[in-house]
Amino acid sequence: MIILDLFKRGKIGNVKLKNRIIMAPMGTKPTADGSYSDNAINYFEERAKGGVGLIITGANIVSTKYETRPENELSDFHNVEKLAVMIERCHHYGTKVFVQITPGLGRMVYADPYTPPYSASDEARSFWFPNLKCRMLTVDDIHYLTERMAYSASLAQAAGADGVELHGYGGYLLDQFHSSLWNKRKDEYGGSLENRLRFSTEIISAIHEKCGADFPVSMKFTAYHGIKGGRQLDEGVEMAKIFEKAGVSDLHVDVGCYEVWYKAITTVYEKPMHQIFAAKAVKAAVNIPVITQGKLNDPMDAEKVLQDGDADYVALAHQMLADPHWANKVKAGNFDQITPCIGCNECLLGGFSGKHYYCIVNPLCYAEKDYQLTPAMSKKRVLVIGGGPGGMEAALTAARRGFEVELWEKTTQLGGNMFVAGYPSFKVDVMKFVKFLRREINRLNVNVRYNMTATSENVLAGNFDKVILATGATSKVPPIEGVDNANQAEDYLVQSKQPGDDVVVIGGGLVGCETALDLSSRAKNVTVVEMLDDILQTGSHSKNNDLSLRDHLKDAQVKLDTGVKVKAITKDSVVIDDNGVEKKLPCDTAVVAAGYKSNDSLEEILEDKVDLTVVGDAVSPRKIMDAVHEAYHAIRVME
């Protein structure tokens, strides 16, 4: 397939776009008054420089009367200045900007367990605190928010925005009005579909009246929820027709809500193009442009959507965090130089932890100006020990700065434990990152020495100016009677060993659960045993990844036996203590996934003899992000 349609010019309303590639809306952290920060401005400017035709900002709340600010605020004239700076800088690169505006999050507000959030009706409950019944917005409240939405749109217009997008998806406030699942009103804003959409259609009319009929209004809405009682696709198509009649310029089609968050915000476990079915159905029913999304990171997938006529524009979100220059690289045909998003959602986890939106594979995300590399002032020699993610990132960063670098890897391949993590079919996104790093190592001619075991003698003999210890971690062997009758999870993940029919996985952390899911396709019965009261409790990860993995385990019929302690492993069973009762779980395959311990034996020997920095799992077993970011910065700050 030849890339043609992605770079065709387009038009939304009266706004001309240089291509069909859109940066989808994602939140940014504001200043104290809700305006765009300098970091956010730099962040958007970099994506414009990277070649996208249109940027849609994250949600800007139009009033804090009913809830605290979720992200940015666009409620007053003082918010215009920074927004205008951002838009102007994006325009310098020929990129247009739509500002997304929202009346609020409704039941999705994460505030506290004591303050009921506002929603379409008082039968809705807080998502984060289910014991809280929501407060119903009155008709006067709805009219107030409608006016504020129109005013916010006029502020965006004053800032130079090319249009606005209504935040009407994902189970947020407008979508709560749209859906009979949460909207139980008896007045003109509840009941029939037309009534449930009235809040949104009145907002559209108010914006047209305030900003003029030619000012584009995009509608991002959820065409299919994917939960019991939620919206089915046929209703989503009818919504699209109503919005078109109301005068929107385009329809940005979304799928899912927080109960099945992974359907809305892709994880590593989802398949590419998983939202296209909804956009395709909407596209067949309307005569205005349709925007689609949902794991279109592969340029060939994105192109296929357009060539098949399933949508008019493709939107990429987290892939734009991973590589802001995706569009330019695709246009140049440099597909193999695209830094791939691995679906980890550490970006979301960072945001929901009160931080900014970090990216595992891109240390410059949200620090585009602060973390730039400078050319080496002198030809220092750098040794990197270990070819996992931290080691490869350190070597690449050293090469990019112009240092002379050697990478020592004790095996015959690069990747470390990331190669193990990315081996299962449902973790292909992680393997893409492994392959990307390997290609970059070759492209930059990094001197890699395989089958090279580092010792204090050969390290010191090299007289290196800097040594990066990125030796990773190895699997723990727990002190369980008969543990020799089991094998480590990694043996099965890379398929050096094959399971029998009945498998027991010891350990319900991330590795144990992913191992169980992988083995479920090759065994008849798989059980996870975990001493804690629930699985996936030993590490921090984004809620949508957690939800997706749990649902995959359920669909694969993996049994979960939690709150039990393993006493012994025999050749044909795992013996557990279940609240003081001894039980035998028959199995022909016992798998241990009991965590990792650092390979740090060289640290104490070398730390006072060389300029040494330890990174990643060699410090303590953690995440890919820790390895990549620590390695990048260790080299970045070298003088």
Q: Inform me whether the pLDDT recorded for 552 exceeds 80.
A: yes
Q: What residues are annotated to the active site?
A: 172
- Residue 374 banded pLDDT, cuts 50, 70, 90: very high
- Rounded CA-CA distance 407/413 in Å is 12
* Digit-coded pLDDT (tens) for 557-590: 999 999 999 999 999 999 999 999 999 999 999 9
Measured between its terminal Cα atoms, the distance across the chain in Å is 46
Strands (E), 311-432: 313-316, 381-385, 404-408
* Digit-coded pLDDT (tens) for 409-458: 999 999 999 999 999 999 999 999 999 999 999 999 999 999 999 999 99
What is the average per-residue pLDDT within 152-168? 98
303 touches 406 (CB < 8 A) = no
* Residue 581, pLDDT score: 95
- Residue 63 banded pLDDT, cuts 50, 70, 90: very high
- Residue 30 banded pLDDT, cuts 50, 70, 90: very high
What is the average per-residue pLDDT within 506-530? 97
- Residue 43 banded pLDDT, cuts 50, 70, 90: very high
Question: Could you tell me the pTM of the whole model?
Answer: 0.96
Query: Which structural domains are found in the chain, ordered by start?
Result: 5-339 (3.20.20.70), 381-473+597-636 (3.40.50.720), 483-594 (3.50.50.60)
* Residue 214, pLDDT score: 96
- Rounded CA-CA distance 118/105 in Å is 9
Average pLDDT, the chain: 96
Q: At 386, is the secondary structure helix, strand, or coil?
A: coil
576 touches 564 (CB < 8 A) = yes
